[in-house]
Amino acid sequence: MDFKKTILWAVFSLSGLMLYNNWQVHEGKPSMFGGAPVVTPATSDKTATGARVDVPTQITGVATGTTTPTTNIGSIESAEKFVLQNDVLVLEISSNGANVIDAKLLKALTAEQKPVELFQHTPAHKYFARSGLITLNNSDLPNHTSIFKLVQSGKDGSGRPFIVLASERSGVRLEKTFILNPGSYVVEVGHRVTQSTTNTNPIVLYTEIVRDGMQEQKIGPFGGAFSASTFTGPAAYTDKEKFNKLEFTAIDKNKITIPTQVAAGEPAWIAMVQHYFASAWIPGDKFARDIYAGRIDNGLYRIGMQIPLGVVAPGSVVVEKARLFVGPQEEKVLETIAPGFELLKDYGYLTIIAKPIFWLLEKIHGYVGNWGWSIILLTILIKLVFFPLSAASYKSMARMKEVQPRLMVMKEQFKGDPQKLNQAMMEMYRKEKINPLGGCLPVVIQIPVFISLYWVLLSSVEMRGAPWVLWIHDLSVPDPYYILPVIMAVSMFVQTKLNPTPPDPIQAKVMMYMPIVFSVMFFFFPAGLVLYWVVNNLLSIAQQWQINKIFGKKAAK
């Protein structure tokens, strides 16, 4: 009995500790197990080839060793702006560099019922996408600081809005074409390069996403300590090395691992990820590409990809098409955009369990049309799957409760001899065919499912702003009145009463305080997750009460 309660307490405590440690790490704070990070000013990029150079005011290119100037922030903010819009996305493109400096998601609303502004270029927050040309001989080619002029705008033959901007430097003309499809968060971006002079140096196209290291504001009266958060920062995907996330703190310390050069024909993309939303450059695959990342001036971080276009002969034209994604991490949508793109929605190490859980949850939602009721039905299904294990656990607990009076007598009998007490308990367990650890295994098995569901509910933008009933208007944020956590605390207390009381008074007190400890944590969990746990507890109470009743009748006979 002592072993069982000790293991249960250890399992729950370790789970809570791991969840809390994950919050700390995802918020950029040091791991509880790894010591405090040393953050040093980074003045270099780390590239796929491992090359590094000092970065006073320029960034060295990866594949060519050439330089691209840093952002002229003042001129971007004062430059002329062009707007491109469809029914889900509003983009603002600056004439300085033809950079996409603002993006509003019309169907994703904030608490103030305003569109989420993913890209921004303000004194408080900078997050934008840019592209340009570089070459070996340091020629001043059109890049992300050049002035671009409007060539054409309107709608094409298919009714899609588009904008064409152009800039010319050193005899090289770069035209950028931005096209939006109806209902899509993907921008088709064409780079048309025209050479009018004799230049034997190969030209390289680069595409970058730039962002400051500002983390999202956390919810909760104690700040970020108890608030839920997910990864924020750059990421890269290649067919060989799959999905790589780059922590801002790791970039600061030049301790990042990014893919090697990407061969022609292989899929690859770069992204900037945050909770619920992401942006990404997805270039074509007809050229080889090189991925790089680093910290640049003004406290900005970037991840980029360079595509060598080769030597462009005088009078000839080279066109390279890419796609720019700016939108929510909706799993159905992500799967259709590019290979591996659904990995932007990160479930962590338990993806193999979390993805089927979300698939089932989404199927249920397709029938009931409410994410709250979908969570309840999913909980019932999970409970049915684990019913045999739970029944075995509760039967073991009921048997332990049945012999509880005998255990108390033994404890009094062998009060000064713990060794004989343990021998007597083991002998009684053997005769009564009771496994003192029988109630622990089902709990341990269900923990990965609980943690997987935690990440599903935390990571799914589909839950964002999704109401359930009455006071629950958003399942992705904590219960505003803490009603669900209080119900959960009561249900945990009832469960504790249904279980056999530990013979050790200290353990008994610990088990009584556990509902309070875990309820404090759940006060700051998403309401959808607490809803799952409340329903699971209520079903467990019903099952355990019924089994206790059956064993009680047997004992009476």
Asked whether 233 and 275 are in contact (CB, 8 A), the reply is: no
Query: Tens digits of per-residue pLDDT, 247-265?
Result: 888 888 888 877 668 888 8
Q: What's the mean pLDDT in 22-47?
A: 41
Q: Most confidently modeled of 57-71, 75-89, 181-195?
A: 181-195
Give the side-chain half-sphere CA count within 13 A for 449: 17
Q: What's the mean pLDDT in 209-226?
A: 60
Asked whether 89 and 328 are in contact (CB, 8 A), the reply is: no
Residues 167, 292: Cα–Cα separation, whole Å: 25
Q: 210 by DSSP, 3-state: which?
A: strand
- What is the structure's pLDDT at 545? 73
Q: From its phi and psi, is residue 233 left (phi > 0), alpha (psi between -120 and 50) or beta?
A: left
Is the per-residue pLDDT at 206 higher than 80?
A: yes
Nearest to 428 by CA among 414, 441, 443: 414
Is the per-residue pLDDT at 493 higher than 70?
A: yes
Is the per-residue pLDDT at 215 higher than 60?
A: yes
Name which of 15-29, 30-44, 468-482, 513-527 the model is least confident about: 30-44
Residues 513, 519: Cα–Cα separation, whole Å: 10
Q: What's the mean pLDDT in 177-191?
A: 95
Please state at what angle helix 527-556 crosses helix 371-385, rounded to 10 degrees.
40
Residue, of 264 and 189, whose pLDDT is higher: 189
- What is the structure's pLDDT at 34? 40
Look-up of token digits 């994950």: 22
- What is the structure's pLDDT at 83? 95
Asked whether 484 and 469 are in contact (CB, 8 A), the reply is: no
Look-up of token digits 């408080």: 124
Name which of 118-122, 484-488, 513-517 the model is least confident about: 513-517
Q: Most confidently modeled of 22-36, 303-317, 489-503?
A: 303-317
Q: Please, which pLDDT band fits residue 151 given cuts at 50, 70 and 90?
A: very high
Q: Please, which pLDDT band fits residue 427 given cuts at 50, 70 and 90?
A: confident
Interior CA angle at 24 toward 221 and 458, to 5°? 75
Residue 433 makes CB contacts below 8 A (sequence gap 6+) with: none
What is the pairing mode between strands 45-47 and 186-195?
unpaired
How far is CA 554 from its chain centroid? Answer: 51
- What is the structure's pLDDT at 72? 44
Q: Please, which pLDDT band fits residue 452 given cuts at 50, 70 and 90?
A: confident
Residue, of 55 and 218, whose pLDDT is higher: 218
Query: Tens digits of per-residue pLDDT, 158-176?
Result: 889 999 999 999 889 999 9
Predicted TM-score (pTM) of this structure: 0.77
- What is the structure's pLDDT at 477? 81
Asked whether 88 and 185 are in contact (CB, 8 A), the reply is: yes
Name which of 7-16, 165-174, 201-210, 211-220 the model is least confident about: 7-16
Is the per-residue pLDDT at 98 higher than 90?
A: yes
Is the per-residue pLDDT at 18 higher than 70?
A: no
Residue 319 makes CB contacts below 8 A (sequence gap 6+) with: 190, 191, 192, 193
Residues 121, 301: Cα–Cα separation, whole Å: 14
Residue, of 132 and 503, whose pLDDT is higher: 132
Task: Report CA-CA distances (Å) from 413 to 425, 453, 457.
Answer: 12, 47, 51
Q: Please, which pLDDT band fits residue 485 given cuts at 50, 70 and 90?
A: confident
- What is the structure's pLDDT at 226? 41
Main-chain dihedrals φ then ψ at residue 172, nearest 5 degrees: -115, 130
Look-up of token digits 């088709």: 188
Partners of 488 in the β-ladder? none
Which amino acid belongs to residue 392?
A
Asked whether 259 and 238 are in contact (CB, 8 A), the reply is: yes
Residue, of 501 and 430, whose pLDDT is higher: 430
- What is the structure's pLDDT at 352? 87
Residue, of 284 and 424, whose pLDDT is higher: 284
Residues 296, 56: Cα–Cα separation, whole Å: 9
- Beta carbons within 10 angstroms of residue 142's beta carbon: 25
Residues 183, 265: Cα–Cα separation, whole Å: 29
Interior CA angle at 304 toward 247 and 268, to 5°? 90
Partners of 127 in the β-ladder? 120, 211
Asked whether 121 and 128 are in contact (CB, 8 A), the reply is: yes
Q: What is the number of H-type helices and E-type strands within the chain?
A: 13, 20
Q: Most confidently modeled of 51-60, 246-255, 326-335, 429-438?
A: 326-335
Q: What's the mean pLDDT in 387-415?
A: 68
- What is the structure's pLDDT at 547? 65
What is the pairing mode between strands 186-195 and 115-121?
unpaired
Is the per-residue pLDDT at 364 higher than 90?
A: yes
- What is the structure's pLDDT at 549? 65
Asked whether 151 and 168 are in contact (CB, 8 A), the reply is: no
Which domains are assigned to the chain? 2-21+354-556 (no CATH), 47-214+231-345 (2.70.98.90)
Partners of 308 in the β-ladder? 204
Q: What's the mean pLDDT in 17-28?
A: 50
Residue, of 176 and 445, whose pLDDT is higher: 176
Asked whether 455 and 354 are in contact (CB, 8 A), the reply is: yes
